Amino acid sequence: MGDENPIRTFGDYSKPSQERYRNTIELFEGSNVVPLRSDTIRLVQNGCSFYGLRSEDPNQHLKDFLKLVDPLDLDVTNWERRRLHLFQFSLRGQASNWLERLPVGSIST
């Protein structure tokens, strides 16, 4: 019989874990998976942040997001996948909290 509670060291407790990580945006399988560059993420975060405030227009945020992301030379074959991947970085505050509370995989297109 295997040990149900294996002995763990302090180092085991400090290792990163993805047990509690939830991704509400489900990226469909694509043939060309290119990792996001940190400067691209920062551009989205600084160029079109949406906080979910009453004074903000979500439709305008989507227009601004597409205006910012579409001209980027990202060397990908599937723009929808890239947009989905980048969109989460444009949300801040209440909007980011809303996204994190959605069921896992609830956004796919």
Domain that residue 66 falls in: 22-28+36-101
Count of domains for the chain: 1
Residue 60 domain flag: yes
Residue 95 domain flag: yes
Residue 48 domain flag: yes
b/e map 49-65, b = 16+ CB within 10 Å: bbebeeeeeeeebeebb
> Would you state the pLDDT for residue 3?
59
Collapsed DSSP state (helix, strand, coil) of residue 91: strand
In sequence order, what are the residues at sequence separation of 6 or more whose Cβ sits closer than 8 angstroms to the Cβ of residue 28? 81, 108
The string of pLDDT tens digits covering residues 78-104 is 778 888 889 999 999 999 999 989 888
> Would you state the pLDDT for residue 63?
96
Please give the residue that has the higher pLDDT: either 73 or 89: 89
Both tokens of 68, joined, read 């910012």
Residue bearing tokens 């993420």: 41
The string of pLDDT tens digits covering residues 17-62 is 555 556 777 776 654 556 788 999 999 999 999 999 999 999 999 9
Per-residue DSSP letter, 54 = T
Both tokens of 52, joined, read 């979910």
Residue 94 domain flag: yes
Residue 9: pLDDT band by 50, 70, 90 thresholds? Answer: confident
Give the Cα separation of 20 and 81 in Å (integer). Answer: 24
> Would you state the pLDDT for residue 20?
55
> Would you state the pLDDT for residue 33?
58
Residue 107 domain flag: no
Contact at 8 Å (CB) between 89 and 25? Answer: no
